[in-house]
């Protein structure tokens, strides 16, 4: 059995767990499988910081993620950073990409 919890990176803010992210890297493509900012730390730039770091560290790779269409805050953040809607999945999620 695979322990996926070890694949998560934690972002600390004031020594507290503020955010976590799981990234799947197949060598040519990065998938942001999970990105979560704890409610207490939202709207402090932590999500932006995390995404910009991922983009900077993976300039030569396609970066993609899935996001629920109803998660308007996340969609707005991704679009602001240049991550574009590639397609709609089952009318509930976007597949978004950054090149």
Say how far apart CA 83 and CA 62 lie, in whole Å. 11
pLDDT at 67: 96
Output b/e per residue, 32-61; b: 16+ Cβ within 10 A: beebebeeebeeeebbeebbeebbeeeeeb
Nearest in space to 37 (alpha carbons), one of 23, 22, 52, 18: 18
Q: Where are the domains of the chain?
A: 4-98
Q: Does domain 4-98 have CATH number 3.40.630.30?
A: yes
The pLDDT of residue 6: 60
At 7 the pLDDT is: 76
User: Residue 12: helix, strand or coil by DSSP?
Assistant: strand
pLDDT tens-digit map of 73-93: 999 999 999 999 999 999 999
Beta-ladder partners of 24: 31
Q: Is the Cβ–Cβ distance between 75 and 67 less than 8 Å?
A: yes
Read off the pTM: 0.83
At 16-70, the pLDDT tens digits run: 999 999 999 888 899 998 899 999 999 899 999 999 999 999 989 999 999 999 9
Of 30, 39, 32, 29, nearest to 8 (Cα)?
Answer: 32
């Amino acid at each position: 059995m695979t322990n996926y919890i070890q694949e998560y990176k934690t972002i600390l803010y004031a020594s507290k767990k503020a955010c976590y992210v799981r990234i799947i890297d197949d060598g040519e493509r990065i998938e942001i499988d999970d990105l979560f900012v704890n409610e207490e730390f939202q709207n402090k730039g932590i999500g932006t910081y995390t995404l910009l770091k991922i983009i900077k560290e993976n300039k030569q790779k396609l970066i993609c993620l899935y996001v629920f269409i109803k998660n308007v805050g996340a969609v707005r953040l991704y679009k602001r950073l240049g991550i574009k809607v590639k397609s709609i999945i089952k009318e509930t999620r976007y597949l978004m990409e950054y090149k």
